[in-house]
Amino acid sequence: MAAQDRVSQDPVSLSLKGVTVDRGGHRVLTNVDLTVGHQARMAVVGANGVGKSTLLAVMAGLLSPTEGDVVLQPPGRTVGLLDQDPQRSTIDTARDLIAHRTGIATAQSELESASAALATGNPGVDDRYSAALARMQQLGGFDLEVTVERLAADVGLPVDVLDRPTATLSGGQLTRVALIATMASRFDMVLLDEPTNNLDGDGLERLERWMSDFPGPIVFVSHDRRFLEATARSVVLLEDHRDGVEVFNGGWADYEQRVATARRQAEQRFNDYTAERGRLQQAAQRKREWADRGTSRAKKRPADNDRNRRSYELNSAANQVGAAKKMSDRLNRLEKVDKPWQPWELRLSIEESDRGSSEVAVLNQVVVERGQFRLGPVSEVITAGERLCIDGPNGSGKTTLVDVILGRLAPTSGTAASGPSVRFGVIGQARRRFTADGALLGQFAEASGLDEPEARSLLAKFGVDAEALTRAVETLSPGQRTRAELALFQATGVNTIVLDEPTNHLDMPAIEQLEQALSSFSGTLIVVTHDRRFREALAVTRTLKLS
């Protein structure tokens, strides 16, 4: 993948000083100090909802901080942001999206308007035309068609896809189009928000090469662990339980090792503190009990009225009281060690319903045709208990085949049938199980068959907080929508799990918990994923390759 044209050769850096961001009455970022140096490859990681996308929006100048400053050096350099959810349209083609994203569509419109104004001879029209012409040249607008087709080849996108409406593109194709727009924009610094979502193996390799060749700094958010291993030179950790950020210099493997070591050390310090505190408390308690018993004995007049013995017991009791006080003093002086913060964990345990049919799905010469797209013919029998991975390049029809298996899409020719006792549990690529403009809680309760208190309790176990329950689903983050669908997944017994790019938008702890849950599931698993480490963790028994 070729490096971007005309990126400034001057070193570019960006600094955040005391940046705080409040949104909707909620503090998202607090007192962030961060410097992005020239040629940085900085990965931003953290749980869903901690403000990673907000941080990139602030860096891009699209969101003003409530407090603090953002300084880009040298002044006048440009920063571009690749959103994690490129917008689709039934009208605009991929070329249109690229032209709008690069600013060339606006510049072209202004140039055409300025050209028409030249005929009026009004004062200032010459300057307006010159400015519009210079802007088009600066953006590379006159070479856009050649540039876009070259970049399409670089990212592995067939040229004919550029002329299709974006609404008809696969997730991977749309991601590649958004990447082309970013590359064609000639930014001095690039911010990438989940750039690996929906990219196939070839696309990931091409993106990694482009990032290696890009001459300016890159800051990116990703949960793809293999991608992070290949690209990150430093890691920024955002956590919702503390202010600011923590920066780890070095690659991803070094970051994982240092975090694991720090966690072990913190746990050991807390365990040592807890043990010492317990020892001192018990010792002080024993001393007080001994003192109480000694005092009680001394107060009882001995049969022989031995005053010396009584005096000895009183002195001994007083010594025990003193020793107890010393233990209490040591306990008070003991430096407190807080319990290490434990992040929320997705505790998903998938209970298989009755296994049912021995054949989950039978496809016989299935063909699907839509416009220029054709899938098939495909003939497959998916049996109960299989762990099937559907693989293939972007646009090969993986999601289309999943829709056929689920009965959502009728084939153009051939037949597709599922077993009579098959109960599917589905997590789709778009995370659109719930209606966009409806509140989550009511929809979830209806879909799960739970009453609202039960629904609240289950969603809470999946990290969906109370504030999100009454909001429209369209306002939730992709990660929150995924967690809600996973919670529904557990609420309804299934014997066949279908996952279409399930790790998109999930944070790493949730991905690892999902891996653990799927590893113990004894039913049938059908998965589409380009997450290389996730695929390895599933112990797939068979791969269906589409071309």
**Mean pLDDT lowest for which of 85-99, 306-320, 532-546?**
306-320
* Residue 415 reports pLDDT greater than 90: yes
* Residue 437 reports pLDDT greater than 60: yes
Q: Which two tokens stand for residue 348?
A: 């998903």
Q: Which residues of 492-507 are buried (b: 16+ CB within 10 A; e: fewer)?
A: eebbbbbbbbbbbbbb
Which one, of 440, 435, 510, 433, lies nearest residue 468 by Cα? Answer: 440
Cα–Cα distance for residue pair 126/123, rounded to 1 Å: 8
Q: Which residues pair with 249 in a beta bridge?
A: 234
The CATH classification of domain 13-242, taken from the options 3.20.20.70, 3.40.605.10, 3.40.50.300, 3.40.50.150: 3.40.50.300
Residue 236: predicted pLDDT: 93
- Spacing of C-alpha 122 from chain mean position: 54
Do 176 and 205 contact (CB within 8 A), yes or no?
no
Cα–Cα distance for residue pair 2/12, rounded to 1 Å: 20
Residue 478: predicted pLDDT: 64
Do 363 and 405 contact (CB within 8 A), yes or no?
yes
* Residue 100 reports pLDDT greater than 80: yes
pLDDT category, 5, cuts 50, 70, 90?
A: very low
Q: Which two tokens stand for residue 231?
A: 């690209």
pTM of the predicted model, to two decimals? 0.68
pLDDT category, 59, cuts 50, 70, 90?
A: very high
**Where would I find the beta strands (DSSP E) of 419-489?**
424-427
State which H helix or E strand residue 489 sits in: helix 478-491
Mean pLDDT of the chain: 82
Compute the average pLDDT of residues 1-28. 74
Compute the average pLDDT of residues 329-335. 77
Q: Which two tokens stand for residue 130?
A: 């010159």
Cα–Cα distance for residue pair 541/546, rounded to 1 Å: 17
Please list, in sequence order, all residues whose beta carbon lies within 8 angstroms of the beta carbon of residue 13, skipping any fewer than 6 positions away.
35, 36, 37, 38, 72, 73, 217
Q: Which two tokens stand for residue 259?
A: 């975090």
The CATH classification of domain 359-545, taken from the options 3.40.50.300, 3.90.700.10, 2.60.40.10, 3.20.20.70: 3.40.50.300
pLDDT top residue among 316 and 389: 389
pLDDT one-digit tens code per residue, 483-522: 788 788 778 777 888 988 888 777 777 788 778 777 777 8
Which one, of 511, 539, 492, lies nearest residue 353 by Cα? Answer: 492
CA distances from 399 to 157, 286, 350 (A): 18, 69, 23
Cα–Cα distance for residue pair 531/406, rounded to 1 Å: 23
Cα–Cα distance for residue pair 376/74, rounded to 1 Å: 54
Q: Which residues pair with 427 in a beta bridge?
A: 499
* Residue 268 reports pLDDT greater than 80: yes
Residue 41: predicted pLDDT: 95
**Mean pLDDT lowest for which of 255-264, 278-287, 372-381, 418-427?**
278-287
Coil, helix or strand at residue 427:
strand
* Residue 252 reports pLDDT greater than 80: yes
Residue with tokens 């003193």: 322
Cα–Cα distance for residue pair 422/383, rounded to 1 Å: 11
**Mean pLDDT lowest for which of 34-43, 85-94, 243-252, 498-507?**
85-94
Compute the average pLDDT of residues 141-156. 86
* Residue 6 reports pLDDT greater than 60: no
Residue 231: predicted pLDDT: 93
Four-CA torsion 535, 538, 541, 545, nearest 10 degrees: -20
pLDDT category, 1, cuts 50, 70, 90?
A: very low
Cα–Cα distance for residue pair 480/484, rounded to 1 Å: 6
Residue 284: predicted pLDDT: 74
pLDDT one-digit tens code per residue, 439-468: 888 888 888 888 888 888 888 877 787 888
Q: Which two tokens stand for residue 468?
A: 């999100």
Residue 334: predicted pLDDT: 75
CB atoms inside a 10 Å sphere around CB 131: 13
**Mean pLDDT lowest for which of 38-52, 240-254, 328-342?**
328-342
Residue 305: predicted pLDDT: 61
State which H helix or E strand residue 41 sits in: strand 41-45
* Residue 302 reports pLDDT greater than 60: no
Residue with tokens 């209606």: 435
Compute the average pLDDT of residues 284-308. 66
